[in-house]
């Protein structure tokens, strides 16, 4: 993960936060464009960009996925810059296209002729920690990743923002295998999440925090209206800003704690410069996060069930 668009005066990392109360398209497009302009986002004409929303699973109300209006707005801004855009993710079940259809994203992107792909064709990447995992070649070989998480609570990590969303670049059932293999070892799975994020190409992140998921997640939570769009030139800095909005401490956030343990740039408040609104301008009172976290590991039977469901959705019932 390069930091080509991070630099600001004094070496601080620009983070742009702005208010956006609803998913009306013109409002969302302006908020996304304003945030990207504020962090000096200027991709090269013809750059091959992979847009990585959260397409976790088919969902009739869409709350567990990035809202289609935000994905559409990001794609339009990229096309205005002359980029070659593809949207992709590796859902829990089914294909990226099937999930996109279920939430209304497929129809929105038709007007741009932007393809939607499932992030498969993995390449094994080995990290300094000694662990390895198969990351989609589409993610590894793009010029730029445009990461669009939805701001949600998470039953294992307490929250899921930009860094966690990049774990979707890991192909297919390998994500579940990683839970099973590393989840019962101290910090091992959290370190893997960080390693995956840092192994990817240049990554600009835009967060959908207009209607968040709170109380639990990443699937069965409750909507919470925060009215936020934010952007940063790397996922770590954006996450740090979102932790500040929720008034979180490092000790209660497993992934943030791991990022600081590894001394990743952007994981500390003093690394950031807020170029639009500040975290204090957002009222997150009443945003509830899980108190007790569930284990990060998957039981082998659950892993087998997940694999069978994935095969059924992918090849028998698309």
Could you read off the pLDDT of 69-80 as tens digits, one per residue? Answer: 999 999 999 999
The HSE-up count of residue 309 (CA atoms within 13 Å, CB side) is 12
Q: For all residues of the chain together, what is the average pLDDT?
A: 90
Tell me, yes or no, whether 316 lies in a domain.
Answer: no
Helix (H, G, I), strand (E, B) or coil at 29: helix
pLDDT tier at 120, thresholds 50, 70, 90: very high
| Alpha carbon distance 46, 144 (integer Å) | 11
pLDDT value at position 10? 54
Do the domain assignments include residue 2?
A: no
Q: What angle do CA 195, 237, 279 make, to 5 degrees?
A: 145
* pLDDT at position 245 over 60: yes
Q: The domain that contains 15 carries what CATH number? A: 3.40.50
Give me the mean pLDDT over the 25-38 stretch.
98
Percent pLDDT > 70 in the chain is 86
Q: Is the pLDDT of residue 19 over 50?
A: yes
Asked whether the predicted pLDDT for residue 163 surpasses 80, the reply is: yes
Q: Is residue 51 part of a domain?
A: yes
What is the DSSP-derived secondary structure letter of residue 142?
S
121 domain-assigned: yes
**Above 90 in pLDDT, residue 235?**
yes
Asked whether residue 86 carries a pLDDT value surpassing 80, the answer given is yes
Q: What is d(CA 174, CA 90) in angstroms, rounded to the nearest whole number?
A: 10
Residue with tokens 């890991």: 170
Report the distance separating Cα 248 and Cα 57, nearest Å. Answer: 28
Q: Which domain holds residue 101?
A: 9-309
Owner of token pair 């240049």 = 202
**pLDDT for res 304:** 46
pLDDT tens, residue by residue, 37-53? 999 999 999 999 999 99
Cβ 200 vs Cβ 236: under 8 Å = no
d(CA 227, CA 281): 11
CA distance 165 to 160: 7
What is the spatial distance between Cα 98 and Cα 246, in angstroms, rounded to a whole number?
A: 33
Is the pLDDT score of 7 beyond 70? no
- Predicted confidence (pLDDT) at residue 173 exceeds the cutoff of 90: no
pLDDT over 90 (residue 211): yes
- Split into its structural domains, the chain has a count of 1
Contact indicator for 65, 213 with CB cutoff of 8 Å: no
With a cut of 90, say whether residue 188 has pLDDT above it: no
Is 53 domain-assigned? yes
Q: Look at residue 68 and tell me if it is in a domain.
A: yes
How remote is the C-alpha of 211 from its chain's centroid? 15
Any residues with CB less than 8 A from the CB of 254 and at least 6 apart, and which?
157, 158, 190, 293
Residue 279 has pLDDT above 80, yes or no: yes
Q: Which pLDDT belongs to residue 57?
A: 93
Predicted local distance difference test score (pLDDT) of residue 186: 57
Question: Which two structure tokens, joined as six digits, stand for 228?
Answer: 């936020």
Which of 211, 299, 236 minimizes the C-alpha distance to 22? Answer: 211
Q: Is pLDDT of 213 > 80? A: yes
Domain presence at residue 4: no
With a CB cutoff of 8 Å and minimum separation 6, the contacts of 19 are 31, 227, 228, 277, 281, 282
In what helix (H) or strand (E) does residue 28 lie, and over which residues does it extend? helix 25-38
Q: Where are the alpha helices (DSSP H) in 220-299?
A: 235-245, 254-261
Query: What Å distances lie between residue 61 and 67, 75, 147, 213, 251, CA to CA?
Result: 10, 22, 22, 12, 33
What CA–CA distance (Å, rounded) separates 231 from 207?
A: 6
Q: How confident is the model at residue 142 (pLDDT cuts 50, 70, 90)?
A: very high
Q: Distance (Å, rounded) from C-alpha 123 to C-alpha 125? A: 6
- Is residue 260 in a domain? yes
Contact yes or no for 54/9 (Cβ under 8 A): no
């Amino acid at each position: 993960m390069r930091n080509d668009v991070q630099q600001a005066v004094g070496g601080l990392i620009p983070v742009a936060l702005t208010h956006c109360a609803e998913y009306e398209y013109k409002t969302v497009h302006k908020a996304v464009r304003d945030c990207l302009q504020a962090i000096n986002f200027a991709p090269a004409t013809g750059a091959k960009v992979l847009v990585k929303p959260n397409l976790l699973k088919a969902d009739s109300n869409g709350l567990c996925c990035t809202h289609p209006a935000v994905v559409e707005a990001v794609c339009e801004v990229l096309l205005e810059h002359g980029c070659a855009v593809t949207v992709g993710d590796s859902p829990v079940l089914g294909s990226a296209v099937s999930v996109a259809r279920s939430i209304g994203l497929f129809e929105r992107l038709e007007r741009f002729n932007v393809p939607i792909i499932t992030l498969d064709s993995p390449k094994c990447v080995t990290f300094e920690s000694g662990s390895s995992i198969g990351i989609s070649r589409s993610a590894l070989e793009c010029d730029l990743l445009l990461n669009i998480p939805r701001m949600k609570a998470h039953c294992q990590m307490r929250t899921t923002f930009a860094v966690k969303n990049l774990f979707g670049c890991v192909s297919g059932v390998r994500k579940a295998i990683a839970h099973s293999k590393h989840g019962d070892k101290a910090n091992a799975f959290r370190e893997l999440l960080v390693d995956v994020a840092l192994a990817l190409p240049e990554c600009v992140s835009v967060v959908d925090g207009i209607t968040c998921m709170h109380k639990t997640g990443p699937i069965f939570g409750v909507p919470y209206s925060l009215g936020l769009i934010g952007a940063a030139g790397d996922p770590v800095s954006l996450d740090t800003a979102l932790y500040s909005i929720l008034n979180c401490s490092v000790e209660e956030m497993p992934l943030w704690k791991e990022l600081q343990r590894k001394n990743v740039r952007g994981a500390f408040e003093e690394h950031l410069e807020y170029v639009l609104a500040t975290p204090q301008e957002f009222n997150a009172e009443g945003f509830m996060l899980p108190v007790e976290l569930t284990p990060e590991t998957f039981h082998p039977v659950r892993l087998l069930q997940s694999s069978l469901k994935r095969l059924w959705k992918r090849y028998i019932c698309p």
